[in-house]
Copies of this chain bind each other. A is one copy, B any other.
Amino acid sequence: MKYPNGVKKEFKYLKSYANRGMNLEDDLNITNKYYLDNNIAVIYKKPTPITINKVNYKSRKDAVITEAHFKVPSTTDYNGIYKGNYIDFEAKETKNISNFPLNNIHKHQIAHLKKIFEAGGIGFLIVRFSKLNITYLLFIQDLLFFIENNTRASIPKSYFDEKGYTIKNGINPRLDYLEIIEKFGGII
């Protein structure tokens, strides 16, 4: 997390050169910044939810949190607006090559996406099979269909091939998931 400058730079160079190790969250942040800067969409990652237990107020400006705990998130990580449409999604990576374990997503996150769909929003998962370097978008409707019709604890990659959409890797935007929303998201 906190590397000496030289090491960090080196690491960044290697990352951008080979694009290995550039993780899904980085790709999405860069993509969302591109969307924002070009007035395409306003989509942000939410802060990590934590419970703060102790704060040291040396001065009002220099408050230091000295004890806090990670909370289970009650919603998804990303939401925002695209052409007037409410967008909401969760993004996950797996090192598996043939399936995506459902325990990667909390049950209430799926329930949340279902609520979003029912309220007229566009909800989906972005799932990257990092060893295959393939990133899929799977709409909540298709995720729910799978869960309701299967007892499996993981979604086979073949289901993503069948019902999901492959997100192209690019330069700008890096991971143009809105292209799929534009075509298949049922936007108004």
Contacts and interface: CB of A to CB of B under 8 A. Distances in A.
Contacts of A6: none
B119 A44 contact: no
B68 A65 contact: yes
A133 interface: no
Contacts of A44: 74-75
How many of these chains are in the complex?
2
Contacts of A102: none
A49 interface: yes
A163 interface: no
Nearest to A118: B39
A84 B64 CA distance: 40
A70 interface: yes
B75 A64 contact: no
A80 B112 CA distance: 11
Interface in A3-55: 36, 39, 41-42, 44, 46-50, 52-53
Contacts of A48: 47, 50, 52
Nearest to A81: B86
A171 interface: no
Contacts of A119: 39, 41-42, 81-84
A121 B112 CA distance: 20
Interface string A78-120: 0111111110100000000000000000000000100110111
Interface of A: 2, 36, 39, 41-42, 44, 46-50, 52-53, 63-71, 74-75, 79-86, 88, 112, 115-116, 118-121, 188
